[in-house]
């Protein structure tokens, strides 16, 4: 049952990205650009997601199990460290240059769009390089 709920959730999320236009890199770049014609629609999508997220976390903090009876374990680390800041900067740079982040990248990949296929390939290479280098180095200290 858990896998079916995960599949349905992913499909709904992907469908939402397509319907809202957020899987379109040009739409995202239109929001991030300060020199071209600015497109504020991403701000509304983000605002809606933040509102839903705040409500969901508010409810989840008061529960110990999910609706499926699975344990809820929320992150406890609230510190802002160098790895978080560098990761956020890299994410922002990549998002600004490509107009794609992981969610829409997977949608574009599933749709067979070449830019999405290239993005997911680059994302996988980055994840592998991280595991082979940064993650192993930090475990030594």
17 in Cβ contact with 106 (< 8 Å): no
At 83 the pLDDT is 84
Q: How many Cβ atoms are within 10 Å of 105's Cβ, its own excluded?
A: 25
At 135 the pLDDT is 65
How many Å apart are CA 114 and CA 49, to the nearest integer? 28
Q: What is the pLDDT along the chain (141 residues), one digit of tens a residue?
A: 888 998 999 999 899 888 888 888 888 888 888 776 888 888 898 899 899 999 999 999 999 998 888 898 888 888 999 888 988 998 988 888 888 989 899 999 999 999 999 999 999 998 898 888 876 666 665
Domain boundaries, the chain: 2-140
Question: Could you tell me the two tokens for 109?
Answer: 């990949």
How many Å apart are CA 25 and CA 65, to the nearest integer? 37
Question: Could you tell me the two tokens for 101?
Answer: 């982040």
Q: How many Å is the maximal CA-CA distance in the chain?
A: 49
What are the residues whose beta carbons fall under 8 Å from the beta carbon of 83, sequence distance 6 or more? 138
At 45 the pLDDT is 87
- pTM (2 d.p.): 0.74
């Amino acid at each position: 049952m858990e896998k079916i709920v995960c599949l349905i959730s992913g499909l709904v999320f992907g469908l939402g990205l397509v319907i809202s236009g957020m899987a379109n890199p040009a739409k995202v770049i239109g929001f991030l650009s300060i020199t071209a014609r600015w497109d504020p629609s991403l701000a509304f999508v983000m605002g809606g997601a933040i509102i839903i997220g705040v409500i969901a976390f508010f409810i989840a903090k008061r529960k110990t199990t999910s609706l499926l009876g699975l344990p809820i374990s929320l992150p406890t680390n609230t510190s802002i460290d160098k790895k978080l800041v560098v990761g956020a900067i890299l994410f922002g740079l990549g998002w600004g240059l490509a107009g794609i982040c992981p969610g829409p990248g997977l949608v574009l990949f599933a749709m067979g769009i070449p830019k999405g296929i290239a993005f997911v390939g680059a994302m996988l290479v980055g994840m592998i390089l991280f595991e082979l280098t940064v993650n192993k180095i930090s475990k030594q200290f």
